[in-house]
Amino acid sequence: MMVRSVLAAAGVFALMQAPVATPVMAADFVFTAIPDQDETQLRKRFGKVAEYLSGTLGLKVKYVPVKSYAAAVTAFRNNQVQLAWFGGLSGVRARELVKGSRAIAQGKKDPFFETYFIAHKSTGLKFSKSFPKKIAGMTFTFGSKGSTSGRLMPEFHIRSAFGKVPNKVFKKVGFSGNHSRTIALVQSGAYQAGAVNYKVWNRDVKSGKVDTSKVTLIWKTPPYPDYQWTMRGDVNKQFGKGFGKKIQDALLSMNDPDLLKSFPRAGFIAARNTDYAPIKDTAKKLGLID
Amino acid sequence: MIARPEPSPLARTTITFVGIAFVCFVFADVAITTVDPWQEFRLLLIGIVTPDFYATDSVALSIGYTLAFAFLGVALSNVLGLFLALLFFSRIVRTFCAIIRAVHELFWALIFLQLFGLSPLTGVLAIALPYAGIIAKVYAEILEEADPAPLKTIPGGTSLLSAFIFVRLPDAWAHFRSYSMYRLECGIRSSAVLGFIGLPTLGFHLETAFKEGRYSEVSALLILFYVVIASMRTWMKRPLIPVYLIGAAVILPWGVSFSFDNIVRFLTEDIVPHPLRSGAGWDALWDWLYLMVFEQAVPGTIATVQLTMIALVATGFLTIVLFPLISPLLLGKASRFCGHIFLVVARSTPEYILAFILLQLWGPSMLPAIIALTIHNGAIIGHLIGRYTETVSLRQDASKGLNRYAYEVLPRVYRPMLALLFYRWEVIMRETAILGILGIATLGFYVDSAFADLRFDRAILLIAITALLNICVDAISRSVRSRLRLQTSLKQQ
């Protein structure tokens, strides 16, 4: 019986502790990023960014890793992070949910992002300038369900080319989870073709991670706006007047080649919410947002 | 001429279920589509035999978190479960318990993630709530099956509370204790799996390592996980429970704040169907419902039932093969030791991991899911039946070898095995949920998609349908069990 009551007491104790936020938290500025590729990469990359921002802003900046695109948006919505590195679609979703939040910075080439369609060598598909209609009837994998370059844009082009939803076009449709996985799955032949973020593809080809004798690039989409830093509208209220401007400046003036190389971006330029209107329209058209 | 004997009800039930599974299998998509699976598989094998224990950052902490969520979740569910068990005479309580246990802990976690964010409360409640529903049912059954004789001996006027504490509880206590141990093992497994969606447990690192193809790290994490589970009986001592619980409460990072507004918003806005929320009118609501039912719920339900039925029957076949591995009636001590290790590994490996590996090998189809569920559940029931044979005594002159297996042991364990299988039926169905997240188009797939799209109205509707399906299966299973007079008490082991 004693065990039971101790057990109960400990349980209640644990519960009562929970809703009381520790005061330290309020002072920390927290950001996250969508898990679009190898998470070790992300942790290395954003760990450095956190250090850089801590130094520039003069307060403790923390990076929290999340497991999904939706988790990144949810954390942003619930004010558990105040800043996030989003993709086009996740950024649109986040800004729809949080009134007053703003896209503040994007990579220099992010307004002209691309998706690459890749295929296993056994399909016999070669690179072409026009949409590879021959992929119909094959097995095909997207990246994450919430990805712009891995889901939204490729699905848009597939639907425009065939006038049908992907499930009707392909023998099988999968969602690999992230871009690195997409490459691995097509390379192993688990799927015959897939859609991948061009930056991840280029990086992995360069570093020799991709076996180009097994998987090959077959098509490039026209450019579209993608990644951006988005900030909550109420940061000034939480961290003092002009804080939002300070963050934006810190991001835009990031010029340490080592820091930028890990993204990889040549530098950051200012972004506005309206830059992503094409993404929002496409997502509405595909029924991915209500 | 001798009339052909009627097949026994046991045989008839078996044949019916095998028939259903066969039909499901014929219509299932089980094609193997990979072109070049061996490359990745070779890397996987190399990784498995070269575990790297230093690859993961703060692995000790993540083991600590895994245990902490499990301890607090199981402790809380014990308290809640016992309380609910005492009220189990009420239909409302029984229904409530059926609903909370019908939803997979992963779905609970996804819901709580919306309410509390990445607070430890999310993990603790995701385990505690469904477990409370399960524990309430099991404890109520234990109390019901307890010997009524002691109650008759107490003097009149004894208060209900005293009667419960001094008469009913002592009798049931040993059962509660052993069942709690089993639940704790489940809790550790669940806790690890919650890492897949972002809680800081072993699963967090496991999923990352898997996705990135760092198989040596995968191997190390799995080994650590097996060691924790297999060694449970050595460190899980009763006097240490308070220490563990306090330790668990202390190490979890409670600091993450959450606001009451989020909770209110989720419950009053987010889960209201979008057409209603935006005031788009009844036509729009009708379209929404049509889409949800005919494009998601119906195909999802068909795939879920299909997968469940095939996996259930396949689990039965695998059990028959596996239980001898640890049965003293059939094998010697050394072989049984190896058998034990094999079964611990097979039943502790989360089905998600198994399906993930098989997906690499065979490409996307229902086959990886079927095999993963079968191995996982076959090993669990095989273990329970193997242990059950320890209590079976054979005649001195019983036959040996295959004859002993086929004519002495198998017939004796067949009824309890069916009982466990039918009991497990609902569990298997719940587990199909997690495989949906891997892309196998069960209801879990559509739920995962809804969460990925941040469409909580859709997610909640689909979860409700999933729960309803589970409750139906549970009811069918109960009626089959009672018709065949299959005892359920074995599951308390």
Residues B287-340 have pLDDT tens digits of 999 999 999 999 999 999 999 999 999 999 999 999 999 999 999 999 999 999
- By Cβ distance, the residue of B37, B119, B451 closest to A189 is B37
Task: Please indicate whether residue B482 or residue B5 has the higher confidence score (pLDDT).
Answer: B482
Cβ atoms of residues B37 and A188 within 8 Å? yes
Tell if the CB–CB gap between A80 and B359 is shorter than 8 Å. no
* Confidence category of residue B57, pLDDT binned at 50, 70, 90: confident
Cβ atoms of residues B56 and B62 within 8 Å? yes
Amino acid identity of residue B417, one-letter, is M
Chain-centre distance for alpha carbon B122: 19
Counting residues of chain B whose pLDDT is more than 70, the rounded percentage is 97
Q: Which two tokens stand for residue B265?
A: 């918003």
pLDDT of residue A13: 35
Residues A203-225 have pLDDT tens digits of 999 999 899 999 999 999 999 99
Residues B225-234 have pLDDT tens digits of 999 988 988 9
Does the pLDDT value for residue B186 go beyond 50?
yes
Instruction: Tell me the shortest Cα–Cα distance from A73 to chain B, in angstroms.
Output: 8
Cβ atoms of residues A235 and A82 within 8 Å? yes
Residues B122-170 have pLDDT tens digits of 999 999 999 999 999 999 988 888 777 887 888 888 887 888 888 888 8
Rounded Cα distance between B228 and B220, Å, is 12
**A73-77, B46-50, B183-187, B397-401: the lowest-pLDDT one:** B397-401
pLDDT of residue B380: 93
pLDDT of residue B2: 66
As its CATH architecture, domain B54-270 has Orthogonal Bundle (1.10)
pLDDT of residue A11: 39
Tell whether omega for the bond before B416 is within 30 degrees of 0, i.e. cis: no
Instruction: Tell me the shortest Cα–Cα distance from B311 to chain A, in angstroms.
Output: 22
pLDDT of residue B256: 64
Does the pLDDT value for residue A23 go beyond 80?
no
Residues B340-385 have pLDDT tens digits of 999 989 988 888 888 878 887 787 889 999 999 999 999 999 999 9
- By Cβ distance, the residue of A14, A75, A174 closest to B439 is A174
- Scan residues 423-452 of B and list those with Cβ closer than 8 Å to A: 439, 448-449, 451-452
Tell if the CB–CB gap between B258 and A19 is shorter than 8 Å. yes
Tell if the CB–CB gap between B40 and A120 is shorter than 8 Å. no
As its CATH architecture, domain B14-50+280-493 has Orthogonal Bundle (1.10)
Compute φ and ψ for B70, nearest 5 degrees: -65, -50
Tell if the CB–CB gap between B36 and A73 is shorter than 8 Å. no
Q: B243 — contact with chain A (CB < 8 Å)?
A: no
- By DSSP bridging, strand A115-120 and strand A193-197 are antiparallel
pLDDT of residue B257: 66
**A2-6, A159-163, A244-248, B48-52: the lowest-pLDDT one:** A2-6
* Confidence category of residue A142, pLDDT binned at 50, 70, 90: very high
pLDDT of residue B436: 87
Rounded Cα distance between B261 and B116, Å, is 10
pLDDT of residue A27: 61
Residues A226-250 have pLDDT tens digits of 999 999 999 999 898 899 999 999 9
pLDDT of residue B65: 95
Cβ atoms of residues B81 and B134 within 8 Å? yes
pLDDT of residue A16: 33
| DSSP string over A53-81 | HHHHHTS-EEE---SSHHHHHHHHHTTS-
Task: Please indicate whether residue A25 or residue A259 has the higher confidence score (pLDDT).
Answer: A259
Which of B453, B455, B458 is the mutation pick for testing A, counting most A CBs within 10 A?
B453
Compute φ and ψ for A62, nearest 5 degrees: -120, 145
pLDDT of residue A179: 92
Cβ atoms of residues B422 and B10 within 8 Å? no
Instruction: Tell me the shortest Cα–Cα distance from A191 to chain B, in angstroms.
Output: 7
pLDDT of residue B1: 56
Residues forming beta bridges with residue A113, ordered by sequence position: A224
Q: Is the dihedral of CA A255, A256, A257, A258 positive or negative?
A: negative
Does the pLDDT value for residue B391 go beyond 70?
yes
Counting residues of chain B whose pLDDT is more than 90, the rounded percentage is 59
- By Cβ distance, the residue of A17, A120, A192 closest to B249 is A17
* ipTM (interface predicted TM): 0.84
Every domain range in chain B assigned CATH 1.10.3720.10 = 14-50+280-493, 54-270
Rounded to an integer, the average pLDDT of A36-64 is 88
Task: Please indicate whether residue A126 or residue B260 has the higher confidence score (pLDDT).
Answer: A126
Structural domains for chain A: 8-111+227-274 (3.40.190.10), 114-220 (3.40.190.10)
pLDDT of residue B394: 87
Residues B252-298 have pLDDT tens digits of 888 666 778 888 999 999 999 999 988 888 999 999 999 999 999 99
Cβ atoms of residues A165 and A285 within 8 Å? no
Tell if the CB–CB gap between B278 and A177 is shorter than 8 Å. no
Q: B407 — contact with chain A (CB < 8 Å)?
A: no
Residues B190-246 have pLDDT tens digits of 999 999 888 999 999 998 888 888 899 999 999 999 999 889 889 988 889 999 999
pLDDT of residue A8: 41
A 10 A CB-CB count for A280 gives: 19
* Confidence category of residue B6, pLDDT binned at 50, 70, 90: confident
Q: How many helices (H) and strands (E) does chain B have?
A: 24, 0
Does the pLDDT value for residue A12 go beyond 50?
no
